[in-house]
Amino acid sequence: MRRQQGAVTSTVMTGDVGTRMSVLAVVPARMGSKGVPNKNLASVGGKPLIAWTLEAARRSRILDRVIVTTDNEAIAATARRHGAEVPFLRPPELARDDTPGVVPIVHALQWLAERENYQPDLVLCLQPTSPLRTAEDIVAAVRLLVSRDADSVVSVTASERPLQWLKVVDSEGLLRDALPGLPAVASRQDATPVFALNGAIYLARRERFLRREGWYGDRTYGYVMPRERSLDVDTPWDLRVADLLLREEVGRAAG
């Protein structure tokens, strides 16, 4: 998704109202990965894992630019083949295992502001480890932020387990409540719904994101995604599941 001269804003439609906003997507994709080596280039559904995120971004037609921040030339080349920009290679000190997830996003925003004077209204983080996220999810998240005048939007999925069922095992092996004091529930249906982050979408107003260096504010809304689109690839098993699901999807589309 190459930057077009003179085209730096999208019309985000919310009901009958059109709001002119520039939306930048940043895709963080370093080479190192403990769980799955070279995860972002692993073949999933016949394509590199990162390709599914880049294609969803392109199909959304709501993003002005899609930037991949990586420390690796092979990932950079793959990203460019799938239409993304890679205007810089991320410094190695920002691509370690213990680097906080917001740091590459902050670095990308600062680099673009300093080198290109590009300062979008919204910044969207799309992790390559969520290959089942769709273009429609991206559009819906942006519209949710605009329609609710939100600081940010973060994707979540309904948890299978109520908080009351969460346990810890102490040093003696005894089972204890992870959150003591909650009222007991006999079934999941009787419990207050709980949602877990699924890693697919992090969206915020750029100025507020930079001020906080984080995605959460007083007006952070949850964009609820179904479990079948909420897979976060972190282990070889996750990669295998994603491969099977996406091969089925490709087969249905071809048929």
The 8-class DSSP code of residue 40 comes to G
Q: Please choose, from the candidates 227, 220, 226, the residue with its C-alpha nearest in 3D space to the C-alpha of residue 205.
A: 220
Measured CA angle at 123 (ends 115, 63), to 5 deg: 95
Question: Do the Cβ atoms of 196 and 232 come closer than 8 Å?
Answer: no
Structural domains in the chain plus CATH codes: 10-159+194-245 (3.90.550.10)
Given this model, what pLDDT does residue 98 score? 85
Residues in the chain: 255
Given this model, what pLDDT does residue 246 score? 96
The 8-class DSSP code of residue 4 comes to B
Backbone angles phi, psi at 58, to 5 degrees: -65, -40
Q: What is the pTM of this model?
A: 0.88
Query: Which helix (H) or strand (E) element contains residue 44?
Result: strand 43-44
- Report mean pLDDT in 10-residue bins for the chain, 255 residues: 39 50 96 84 96 98 97 97 97 89 97 97 98 98 97 95 89 92 81 91 97 94 97 95 94 77
Token match 């559904």: residue?
45
Query: CA 191 to CA 185: how far, in whole Å?
Result: 6
Given this model, what pLDDT does residue 185 score? 81
Backbone angles phi, psi at 76, to 5 degrees: -60, -45
Which tokens hold the place of 207? 């100025």
Question: Do the Cβ atoms of 164 and 230 come closer than 8 Å?
Answer: no
Given this model, what pLDDT does residue 4 score? 37
Query: CA 204 to CA 236: how far, in whole Å?
Result: 31
Counting Cα atoms < 13 Å in the Cβ hemisphere of 69 gives: 26
The DSSP annotation for 90-154 comes to: PPGGGSSTT--THHHHHHHHHHHHHHH----SEEEE--TT-TT--HHHHHHHHHHHHHTT-SEEE
Which tokens hold the place of 196? 């877990």
Given this model, what pLDDT does residue 6 score? 33
